[in-house]
Structure 1
């Protein structure tokens, strides 16, 4: 029984150790030059353990990205908004999470890595794009529900989601990637999400002929 307990508790610390070492090595040497031997050495693990957990270097990078993206806990199923004020609140809540998590230094480091390695290792950008798609999907899901509730018109949800994210970010991401500025704090995040929701609802007004429903008063 004691031996089994050790086996069950062992893999998690080892996996975390390898992912941490992999990310450090990728950032220090670049994806192409970060060998599995160097990663294993830094993680104080064997190459056999590394391959048993991840299979190859690309899968290791994918796991690094997925590990960070998984912390966002993006909502997959939400009750449809019943009025435009509620839609604005839902977009603002999701927008704040996106700004906070994506602008995290570790995530920005992954973006820089993808840019540096785009030619030599295009799979890096592909892996990152998969993680970014989860954000667009979450926004799109809210907008589809808003359309079903008659709160916005029948424009393409994917196009609207992209427009909302553009309003949310502006040139902020580029500035952070270039290290011109730091990640936004709570005050700026609150300001950005409020402005993005306001501008988005102005771009996509309530369909004509629908009876306007306001948020219920307390």
Structure 2
């Protein structure tokens, strides 16, 4: 196998570091262990990430990219056989909750919360990915599909996320709700989360009729 170099090595280190951070937590993670797990030298590791904070920041950025890619936008949930825009929004919110209740996501969130006071910029970046970006995508979808003003769309999006995601996420973070053990797939969406409950909340908060069909 050819030696990894440059960006490929950096990505490989981040994937290895993500697993180590999740297994050991921030405090107990050492650069030695990360280098060993990534099968690279400490010199190469420090060439890409001069400190553990820099490495953690890179991992958070990687998680953000993977998370948002898996989530997509509400439009991605509109299909020929399920063209109702409200139904697409219900499934988008369900997918958002499903991804957040994944055991890996919950561990990452707990770690971000634990380090928020020490490295607030990293915690705020993770917050932007987990909550702000999905809320903004819902807001844009509401504006385009229901013709809401920017302010109305944002207010409705925040209400939808607050009603459909936050209660169960808090339960997951506190261990009241069992996490989703395996990486969640869209095919298991209806099994992993209560789409009927989400639908009741979403439809209650939506305007009666989309501006366009």
TM-score (normalizing by structure 1): 0.70
Deviations, residues 92-115 of structure 1 (Å, cap 9, x unaligned): 221122122221111111110012
Change (3 A) 1:106 1:163: same
- After TM superposition, give the deviation of residue 163 of structure 1 in Å: 0.8
Q: Does 1:162 align with 2:158?
A: yes
Alpha-carbon distance in 1 for matches of 2:93, 2:43 = 41
SS of structure 1 residue aligned to 2:117? coil
Aligned to 1:90, the other structure's residue is in SS state helix
1:62 CA displacement:
3.4
The match for 1:139 is: 138
Instruction: Measure how far apart 1:16 and its partner are.
Output: 5.1
TM norm structure 2 = 0.71
Pick aligned residue for 1:191 from 189, 194, 205:
194
Task: Return the alpha-carbon distance in structure 2 between the equivalents of residues 129 and 101 of structure 1.
Answer: 14
Pick from 41, 53, 57: which aligns with 1:46?
41
Q: Deviations over 1:86-144 (max 9, x none)?
A: 22112022112212222111111111001212222223312211212221122112111
Indicate the SS of the match to 1:91: helix
Taking the aligned partners of 1:58 and 1:143, their CA distance within structure 2 comes to 38
Report if aligned partners of 1:32, 1:120 keep a CA contact under 8 Å in 2.
Answer: no
The change in CA–CA distance for 1:205 and 1:135 in structure 2 (over 3 A counts) is closer
The equivalent of 1:68 in structure 2 is 63
CA separation of 1:15 and 1:58: change in aligned 2, threshold 3 A: same
> Gapped runs of 5+ residues in structure 1?
none
8 Å CA contact retained: 2:16, 2:34: yes
